Amino acid sequence: MIKKSHGIGQEYKGNIYSYRFGKNLTIEDGVRIFHPENIIIGDNVYIGHDTILYGYHDSVLFIGDDVWIGPQCYFHSAGNITIESQVGIGPSVKILTSYHDYNKYPIQLNPLIFKKVMIGYGSDIGMGSVILPGVNIGKGSQIGAGSVVTKDVISHSVVTGNPAKYIKGVK
């Protein structure tokens, strides 16, 4: 059985200003944006090549001011994503906000569970990290490259690994 496609997204090279996108926005080639009507982007934001911003039909993907998003990232905002200002996100970072419940087999027939992800002001997410549904990353935190973040991260801390574990606090 062939299911209906979610579409190819829109590759933005032209007029993006009909949406809630701020000033001085740089969107590199190959960026795909799904449901741009549910995406809010602040001022002075950079979005690297081949990134996918998957806005969802009934949720919001919010990106604050002065955010840098590296190439080949994937943000799926079914459960809402908030990225506060002054955040750096390395290449190939994945942010997920939904998963299937595990009540029956096959798993994909179970309902989706939606949980918001929040990345606090001034944080930095290292290359290749994965942020799982429901995670809150406190302000000024560093996520080490390649980490899988399964739990909340307190403000001003460094976490790394799979699963990510607290290493130290930062000032």
The token pair at 116 is 């918001």
Residues 6 or more apart whose Cβ sits within 8 Å of residue 65: 22, 42, 43, 44, 45, 85, 86
Q: How many residues does the chain have?
A: 171
**Contacts of residue 107, Cβ cutoff 8 Å, sequence gap at least 6:** 100
Residue in the structure block whose two tokens are 């908030």: 82
Exposure string over 68-87, b if 16+ CB within 10 A, otherwise e: bbbbbbbbbbbbbbbbbbbb
Longest CA pairwise span in the chain (Å): 54
Establish whether 35 is a catalytic residue. Answer: no
Catalytic residue among 6, 35, 76, 100: 100
Identify the CA nearest to 70 among candidates 60, 79, 83: 83
Question: What residues act catalytically?
Answer: 100
